[in-house]
Amino acid sequence: MLAFLALIIILVIALLYWLLMSSYSQLFGYFPYKIKTNKKVIALTFDDGPNDPYTSELLDYLKQKKLRATFFLVGKNIKKYPSTVQRIVNEGHLIANHSYSHSFFNYFKSLSFKKEIESNQELIFKQTGLRPALYRPPWLFRTPFILKTLKSNFLTPVSGIFCNSFEVLRISPEKITKSALSHSKPGSIIIFHDGIEGKGGDRNNTIQATKLLIDQLLAKNYKFVTVAELLEIKPYQSLPPKS
C-alpha cells in the first residue's frame, strides 16, 4: 500500500512538473520551443545574464562569426553590467525579459508575478530605450495567472529546449555540446545560461560548449537567427512608456 501511494505521489509530481515547468507543455497557452520548418535555422538563447566576463567573451565570439542570438536578461544583472547590455543591443542581438530577480520564492509572493515582470520591463526600457516583446519565465514556470500578466503587458512567452539538463552545474563542454547537438533541429530554440539566476557565477564551460556547437552547426550549414526572427514577430514593442 505504501509503495502504491509513493508511486501515485511520484506520478502527480511528474505531471505537475510537465504541466508547469517542462519545455513542451502548451496546456495554459502558446509557449513556443520550436517552429515547424524544413529550413536549417536555429535560435540560440542565453538566460540569466548579463554576467561578465563570460557574456562579453560570448559576444566576442558571436561578433567574430557574424552571428546573432537572443539574451533573456535578469534585472539585477542589468544593473551590474549596463555597458554589456548596451553592447548586446549595439551588436544586433535581441534582448528579452527574464524577470527582475530570478527568485523562485517570488512565485509564491504573487501568483501573477506582476512586479517581477513589469519591473524588469521598465528597467530594460530605461537602460536601452527598448521595450522587449518576449519573456521567458525563470525555470520555465508558468501558470494561467502569469500568462495573464504577460498578455496585459503585450509580452509573448517563450520556451526552448535546454542544451543539457545539467549545464548549469558546469559539466564538461563536451557533454553540453553533445546534448545540445542532439537537440539542434531545424526550427529549434536552444537554451544556454551565461549567468546563474541573479548571482553570476563561472560559465566558462557553457561558453566553450557554445563555441563548439556553433562550429559544428555551421559545418552542417545551419543559419542562426533571433527568436523574434524565428517566430516571425516584432522584436520589440512600439509602445510609449507607462505613466
In this predicted model, what pLDDT tens digit does every residue of 13-44 receive, in sequence order? 888 888 899 999 999 999 999 999 999 999 99
Give the residue ranges of the chain where pLDDT is below 70: 239-243
47 is catalytic: yes
**Which DSSP symbol is given to 91?**
T
pTM score, whole prediction: 0.94
Which residues are bridge partners to 34 per DSSP?
A: 188
C-alpha distances out from residue 55 to 13, 87, 170, 206, 238, Å: 35, 10, 16, 10, 27
Question: Of 47, 48, 52, 194, which residue is the catalytic one?
Answer: 47
CA atoms within 13 A on the CB side of 221: 3
The three cell numbers of residue 171 are 559539466
Distance of alpha carbon 242 from alpha carbon 195, whole angstroms: 29
**Helix 204-219 with 173-183: angle, nearest 10 deg:** 40
Radius of gyration (Cα) for the chain, nearest Å?
18
- Do the Cβ atoms of 209 and 177 come closer than 8 Å? yes
Q: Backbone phi, then psi, for 106, in 5-degree steps? A: -70, -15
Question: Of 93, 98, 102, 193, which residue is the catalytic one?
Answer: 193
pLDDT of 12? 78
H helix or E strand, kind and range, residue 43 = strand 41-49
193 is catalytic: yes
pLDDT of 16? 82
Over the range 1-17, which residues count as b (16 or more CB within 10 Å of their CB) and which as e? eeeeeeeeeeeeeeeee
pLDDT of 124? 98
pLDDT of 102? 96
pLDDT of 239? 63
- For the domain spanning 32-231, the CATH number is 3.20.20.370
